[in-house]
Amino acid sequence: MEETMNAAISSVATLPKLPLSVRVHRETECADEPMSPIGRIMEDLDVYIVVVMGLGKPVNLPVFRAGIETELLARFPRFRSVQVMEFGKPRWVQTTVNVDDHIIVPRLDPAAVACGPEKAVEDYVSSLSMLPMDRGRPLWEFHFLDIPTSEATSTTVLRLHHSIGDGASLMTLLMASSLSTADPARLPAMPPPPKRTGPIYQRRPRPPLSSGEALLAWVWSYLVLAWNTLVDGVLLLATMLFLSDPHTLFKRADGGSSKSHRHMRFLHRSLSLDDVKLVKTAMNCTINDVLVGVTSAALSQYYFRKSGDINAKGICLRSFLLVNTRTVSSRQTYVTKVATGNKLSSLICPFHIALHDDPLEHVRKAKRLMLRKKSSLEVMFTQVVGEFLVKYFTVKIGSFLLRLFMTRTTIMLSNIVGPAEHITLCGHPVAFMATSVYGQPQALTVHYLNYDNTIKVILAVDDAQFPDCHQLLDDFVESMMLIKEATKFHTLKSIRFD
């Protein structure tokens, strides 16, 4: 592994130094845009997004390059902008971009590639977590690996700084810049919108005053909302001050206090969207509930096998769950206009490390938890507090508190909605997509991304913390299978009794 890694790193480190592409002219000042509070925090934390895309044919570099120039750069101003400090505050200033400066074709060791192409690609992508980006240019780059793997004919990796945008805005950019593979004359289709069309919490319409029972229920719902928000707000502040998860094998020894980048490994595996929907329908819950339950089951399976602590009654850990604060009713509009920037908030999502005879108990707990979170303004409270700290204090204080908050939780968890069908990006059909991040203090990050009829589970793990990370990934696949089989058993059992 080390030899392949060193070859991957050296292949990038020895690339020739190209002249800077940034030329900030006075006439571009009209296009200036202030950086959002969340973007400024991501800049200070130095967090990056990595998108691995398997392509359905060998890389045609001139065609892909032309697509980047005419689609991505034309649609997304952040891709042609640099960060400039003005009166102590960063701004986005558009500039001239030389696309060739952002295209990297590494030279990998042929022996390592022949020995294991999947591992060679994985090692190379992992090496990016230790390589800095040139701050004198727009902070994005494409890496092209013309290596056939079991899932794709070739691979491209998009790496960009999180201050440019979040996962949702990046996904809408990719969809807006691509075409349907089945019908190249149109944009890719989006998944059907969920029942909830607004933020995670929506105000309930007031019933007629003549309906006393309904009016009482309406008032009670607001009392529950106020109480839950108060409790969540207190827990949020307590987490920033002193409340921390217990040290387990999922947390770094230093608690993630070090600001230097650790070597992260990015792994991904496909789950069937139909299997997830089967559980969702049977349990009368959401896809998010199922995925949170799968995460809890997989981490429990890994923990008890690794620690041998079979007598444990259960451990309550917490995840830092990222939430897209944009409304979800106009996804296709976002694809057309391209959502920009970082519009994120977060909530604390507890999950239980426990052994259950019935695997569905993990989903039931997740369902109860998420119903409870939907009766709280925690997401809005977190967003307001973060923006207040940046606006009225300093970015350093805001990012310090956010990092402190993340170090006291165990994992980072996120779910991103992708295209409902296969897409063709820059003239290349995309076989799969896997999105993740690095630079966060947690040793483990779990992302889910649906693409066509699959859901990718993507892990970003500290290489030193999880030397058997592939076994952890296997636990996610096995846990999904166990939950699906338990769902079928309970469904048949209920039919038999009916």
Q: Would the CA dihedral through 268, 274, 277, 278 be positive or negative?
A: negative
Name the amino acid, one letter, at 210: S
Distance CA 241, CA 265 (A): 31
Give the residue among 418, 226, 219 at the shortest CA–CA distance from 335: 418
Identify the residue whose tokens are 């049977």. 282
Q: How far is it, in rounded angstroms, from Cα 40 to Cα 340?
A: 14
From the list 5, 2, 1, the residue with the least C-alpha distance to 106 is 5
- Dig out the tokens for 171 from the structure: 């996904």
H/E stretch holding 50 reads strand 48-55
- Using CA atoms, how far apart are residues 83 and 295, in angstroms rounded to an integer? 37
First to last CA, the chain: 56
Residues 6 or more apart whose CB falls under 8 angstroms from that of 171 comprise 416, 417, 418, 435
Catalytic residues: 162
Cα 115 to Cα 11, 120, 413, 459: the distances in Å are: 18, 8, 33, 24
Helices (H), 270-359: 273-283, 287-307, 331-337
